[in-house]
Amino acid sequence: MPCEGKPRFVVLYGSQKGQAQSIAEWIAEEAEQHGLVADLSCLNQNEKFNLEKERAPVVFIVSTTGEGEPPENALRFVRGIRKKTLSPDHYKHLCYALLALGDTNYADFCNCGKKIDSRLQELGARQFYPTGYADDGTGLEVVVDPWIEGLWNGIREALSKMASDRTAHLKETVEDSILDIPNLSILDVHLNPLSISDQQNCEPVIASVNMDSKHASPVSSSASAVSDLSPASSAGSTRLASQSVGTGSVSISVPKAQTKDDGVSHAALAASLTSSLPPLSESSLNVPALPPPYLDVIFQEVDTEEQSIGPLNKESLYQVPISKAVQLSRGDSVKTALLVELDISAYPVMDYQPGDSFNVFCPNREAEVDSVLHRLGLQDKENHHVHVTLKKDTNKKGAQVPSHIPQNVSLLFLLTWCLEIRSVPKKAFLRALVEYTADCAQRRRLQELCSKQGAADYNLHVREPSLSVLELLAAFPSCSPPLSLLIEHLPRLQPRPYSAASSCLRHPGKLHFVFNVVEFPACSGRPAGGRGLCTGWLFDLIKPGLVFPVKAEPTSSLALPKVHVSLRPNCSFRPPSDPSVPFIMVGPGTGVAPFIGFLQQREEERRKNPEASFGETWLFYGCRHRDGDYLFREELESFVISGTLSHLKVCFSRDERKDEEAVTSAPRYVQHNLLLHCQQVTDLLLRQNGCFYVCGDAKNMAKDVNETLIEMIQTELQSDKLEAMKRLATLREEKRYLQDIWA
């Protein structure tokens, strides 16, 4: 409900994993501190907003998913604004700002945001504040924080302009109609009040410290003179709201202290998760507003112990047995690569095409769930049912019990299957934890980590090592949050997607996939290192039945468990529908997975239809060592022998080069091998209408391959870089340059 007297604006979000939603909620919550009131809605709640009539500024926060697609809850909106029947002045009245979220590791960075932005402008809408493009690959907050900081001024200026436009318009209308209504005066028209005092509404938190500047502020030191920012001492949580109001000029470039490339400040490098150095340890801090608590949790004792295992939404999932598990890499190799075969014969709906991937639903680790229970002091309540309800008096805009929180499940189930307990705590979460931290030095450090001044420390000690809330709580022992806070801040436990590494034609009723067990190094908040959640879990599951030789058949005594999976069809990452079209595949390491499916399918098609014309096929494969990590070696070589694979180009990045010549000419990575075959590859692509597929690591390999492709096209066309980039963009649009990559 709009507050009487406060100017309003609208916040609309489209969110896939909840990040855009939480930013939108954050903006709506902060609005009050800036003397504004926000109407918050999801883009699919079109009964809650009406852009056709909206006269207040509108702020869009939209993420991008899959291959540049809108999040599901923005699909309808995007389709709606795309309608060709809309006139170019359809949104002439609309004044908006847009924050696009994306990940530069993937193609079509921020595509959904960009599309909405340009379409709104085509329809006459005016932008009141520059669009922000936040990159999850480097840390959303690097752009999001300054963007929000400048937004408030933008909104005020927009309101001011809209009000004066309206006044002018009214004046014109009134004059035009020669005022035949005697009592109407322009001054009676209610305009949004604009006399908002920044000082009054946005008081920054000053948490100054008097301490010897030569010393860090270790959390164990309770003697440090950190200002107490508890609600009691700071006159209520609203006083803690603190984003200082921007000057009006919006800079969304990366601040120096926050970039890895430019180097974090010296102080940040010398500090640790739990301690800081000057100048941060001595700074006044701008900490974010305290997110209003919005959930109540009640425990209910139940008579029977719950046996529920597996995720809740069982109707869309299939529990399938693992029928085979093979270690593909040699024991001494740095990475452990495993192949898992699933028996999907009982579920014809799981029939897949090469190029499809599917989700594996894994639980949180038992030991970590136990640690959470102990840390929250709830170990004796693990079998109690948890009832989560909305706080009656919450100030949170659009508060709802998160959709991933089921009712009538045990606490154990909730922590095991519903919450991503390893997720990296956002700054809002750190801010909320401050309220439950007894020790002054620990409070101060948490405030630093979520403050504007502590952004580099947050990146270095929390975001980059992917610290989980459990690891954070271990480092801040006086912090004792309630369960409700974890439910408010932890996202849904996400399933992990894997690419199908087989073809149904070759293996009817079976689905193969391949993965590396992800290993995390130790760091200051995690002394022992660790394993990826899903890959570590799968490894433990299959270890008892693991076989080593690639062609080994499972022994009869093998009893492998079942896993929950769901299909994720991919409509574009498919072999060309016309078999005569040549194609090139680039898939180092486990990135070879979908291409095994492509080639098995092609081999079966050739067998069934020997007369048909089949285009050339190329595979560029790479790994560390020929002997230790060459996945599917025998199968790939047999594809070459059968003629299914026309060219197999392999390289080994860590194998010793035996002689001087090899040192200079042997390709190390797939992109080097591509360069060696520049002419053939570009000929297939540019003259023979061929397709180019890349699968695997998004962070390094896919980017390097992309750069190499640009270089190759440039050489081949004798053009400049821009021209080559355009050509590659066209190939992408024509769905002839396709990526299936993951970070």
Establish if 742 lies at the interface with ligand FAD (CB under 6 A): yes
Size of the site for ligand FAD (CB under 6 A): 23
Residues 513-532, one symbol each (x = binds ligand FAD by CB under 6 A, - = not), give xxxx-x-x-----------x
The Cβ of residue 384 has, within 10 Å, a number of other Cβ atoms equal to 17
Is 174 or 523 the residue whose CB approaches ligand FAD more closely?
523
Structure tokens at 479: 């912090």
CA distance 600 to 610: 15
Cβ 460 to ligand FAD shortest distance, Å: 13
Establish if 590 lies at the interface with ligand FAD (CB under 6 A): yes
- List the end-to-end C-alpha distance of the chain, in Å, as a whole number: 41
Interface segment toward ligand FAD; rule CB under 6 A; list 147-155, 326-334, 534-542, 640-648:
534-542
Cβ 340 to ligand FAD shortest distance, Å: 10
Interface segment toward ligand FAD; rule CB under 6 A; list 77-85, 104-112, 603-611, 735-743:
735-743
The C-alpha angle 20, 25, 27, rounded to 5 degrees, equals 95
Establish if 326 lies at the interface with ligand FAD (CB under 6 A): no
Is 465 or 545 the residue whose CB approaches ligand FAD more closely?
465
| Contact with ligand FAD (CB under 6 A) among 95, 593, 681, 684 | 593
Using a 10 angstrom Cβ sphere, with 0-12 exposed, 13-18 middle and 19 or more buried, the burial of residue 417 is buried
Cβ 450 to ligand FAD shortest distance, Å: 20
Structure tokens at 671: 């992109």
Establish if 498 lies at the interface with ligand FAD (CB under 6 A): yes
| Contact with ligand FAD (CB under 6 A) among 98, 295, 534, 565 | 534
CA distance 454 to 445: 9
The residue with its CB nearest to ligand FAD is: 532
Q: Is 520 helix (H, G, I), strand (E, B) or coil?
A: strand
Structure tokens at 606: 């050739």
Interface segment toward ligand FAD; rule CB under 6 A; list 40-48, 217-225, 512-520, 675-683:
512-520
Is 231 or 529 the residue whose CB approaches ligand FAD more closely?
529
Main-chain phi, psi angles of 412, to 5 degrees: -60, -45
Establish if 496 lies at the interface with ligand FAD (CB under 6 A): yes
Cβ 365 to ligand FAD shortest distance, Å: 10
Is 138 or 217 the residue whose CB approaches ligand FAD more closely?
138
Is 287 or 534 the residue whose CB approaches ligand FAD more closely?
534
| Contact with ligand FAD (CB under 6 A) among 499, 503, 600, 601 | 499
| Contact with ligand FAD (CB under 6 A) among 153, 275, 535, 714 | 535
Among candidates 521, 531, 539, 644, which has minimal Cα distance to 585? 644
Q: Please report how many Cα atoms fall inside a 13 Å half-sphere around the Cα of residue 51, on the Cβ side.
A: 27
Q: DSSP letter string over 142-206?
A: HHHHHHHHHHHHHHHHHHHHHHHHHHHHHHHHHHHTT--STT--GGGS--------HHHH-PPP-
Establish if 278 lies at the interface with ligand FAD (CB under 6 A): no
CA distance 646 to 634: 15
DSSP 540: H
In the 3-class helix/strand/coil scheme, how is 573-626 assigned residue by residue? CCCCCCCCCCEEEECCHHHHHHHHHHHHHHHHHHHHCCCCCCCCEEEEEEECCH
Is 413 or 498 the residue whose CB approaches ligand FAD more closely?
498
Rg (CA), the chain: 29
CA distance 694 to 620: 9
Cβ 419 to ligand FAD shortest distance, Å: 14
Looking at residues 97 to 136 of the shown chain, list those that interact with ligand FAD (rule: CB under 6 A).
none
Is 238 or 466 the residue whose CB approaches ligand FAD more closely?
466
Is 299 or 520 the residue whose CB approaches ligand FAD more closely?
520
Q: Which residue has the tokens 């193609």?
A: 107
Q: DSSP letter string over 258-322?
A: G-TTT---HHHHH--SS---TTGGGS---PPPPPPP-EEEEEE--SSPP---S-S-GGG-EEEEE
Is residue 26 within 8 Å of 148, Cβ to Cβ?
yes
Interface segment toward ligand FAD; rule CB under 6 A; list 199-207, 266-274, 286-294, 495-503:
495-503
Residues 461-490, one symbol each (x = binds ligand FAD by CB under 6 A, - = not), give ----xx------------------------
Helix, strand, coil percentages (3-state) for the chain, rounded to 5, are: 35, 20, 45
Is 436 or 520 the residue whose CB approaches ligand FAD more closely?
520
Is 22 or 65 the residue whose CB approaches ligand FAD more closely?
65
Looking at residues 335 to 394 of the shown chain, list those that interact with ligand FAD (rule: CB under 6 A).
357
Residues 16-55, one symbol each (x = binds ligand FAD by CB under 6 A, - = not), give ----------------------------------------
Establish if 702 lies at the interface with ligand FAD (CB under 6 A): no
Residue 478 Cα distances to 220, 336, 473, angstroms: 10, 39, 8
Is 211 or 698 the residue whose CB approaches ligand FAD more closely?
698
Residue 276 Cα distances to 179, 215, 280, 437, angstroms: 67, 9, 7, 17
Is 514 or 701 the residue whose CB approaches ligand FAD more closely?
514
Q: Name the site residues for ligand FAD (rule: CB under 6 A).
A: 357, 465-466, 496-499, 513-516, 518, 520, 532-536, 590, 593, 740, 742-743
